[in-house]
Structure 1
Amino acid sequence: MILEHADITIPPGQQAAFDEAIVRGITTVISQAQGFRGWRVQRGVESPERYVLTIYWNTLEDHTVAFRQGPLFAQWRAIVGPFFAKPPVVEHFTLVGEAPLAP
């Protein structure tokens, strides 16, 4: 499994609109992508215009080739791209270990 980690910054005061847009973009567009396994998005506490998006993919190529070079990417960017204050920083990781969240 591959974790795509995107560090996203938006203009101040756009949080509510971006919250809606990013969830809509993931659930209606990215969720259709080949190799998509799940997602998590978090907003900064100290820096509320900063978001960390993690998307779980089966393979690196599912993200970098099938999604990024396919038609779904343009649909995704049309939804969230207008909010970007600067280009997101995107990196990929492999999972070393994890534990379930405590109740």
Structure 2
Amino acid sequence: MILELAEICIHPGQQAEFDVAIQRGLNEVIAHAKGFRGFKVNKGIESPERYILMIFWETLENHTIDFRGSEAFAAWRSIVGPFFAVPPVVEHFDLLAKSAQV
């Protein structure tokens, strides 16, 4: 399984609206993508405009080719993109180890 990690910074004062939008985009768009395995979203406490989005994919290509090359990517960006203060920083990771609780 591949972890997509995206750091998202939104415009100040739009947290409540973005909270709704990101959950809508994840549930209505990304959750139906090929290879999608789950997600987590964390929002900043000290920096309330900063979010960490974790999406779990079966393969790297499920994200970089299948999803990004689909119409669903445009739908996703139309839902969340207007909130972005800067383009998200996105990286991919392989699991090395984990605790039993996570």
Q: Deviations over 1:64-89 (max 9, x none)?
A: 00000111100000000000000000
| 2:15 aligned partner | 15
Q: State the aligned residue count.
A: 102
Structure 1 position 99 matched with structure 2 position 99: yes
Partner SS state of residue 92, structure 1: strand
Matched residue of 1:34: which SS? coil
d(CA) in 2 for partners of 1:78 and 1:68? Answer: 13
Report the TM-score when normalising by structure 2: 0.97
For 2:6, the equivalent position in structure 1 comes to 6
For 1:86 and 1:35, locate their aligned partners in 2 and report how far apart those are by CA, in whole Å.
Answer: 27
Name the SS for the 2:79 alignment partner: helix
Q: Secondary structure at the match of 1:69?
A: coil
Q: What aligned pairs does 1:58-97 form with structure 2 within 5 A after superposition?
A: 58-97=58-97
What does residue range 50-65 of structure 1 map to in structure 2 within 5 Å?
50-65=50-65
Runs of 4+ displaced beyond 6 Å:
none
Q: 1:13 to 1:100 in 2, by over 3 A?
A: farther
- How many Å separate the matches in 2 of 1:69 and 1:100? 35
* Cross-structure match for 1:46: 46
Match for 2:57: what amino acid? W
Return the TM-score normalized by structure 1.
0.96
CA RMSD of superposed structures (Å):
1.0
Q: CA deviation at 1:100?
A: 3.6
Unmatched tracts of structure 2, length 5 or more: none
Deviation at 1:98, TM superposition (A): 1.3
After superposition, what is the alpha-carbon deviation per residue over 1:14-37, rounded to whole angstroms, capped at 9, x for unaligned?
Answer: 000000000000000000100000
Gaps of 5+ in 1: none
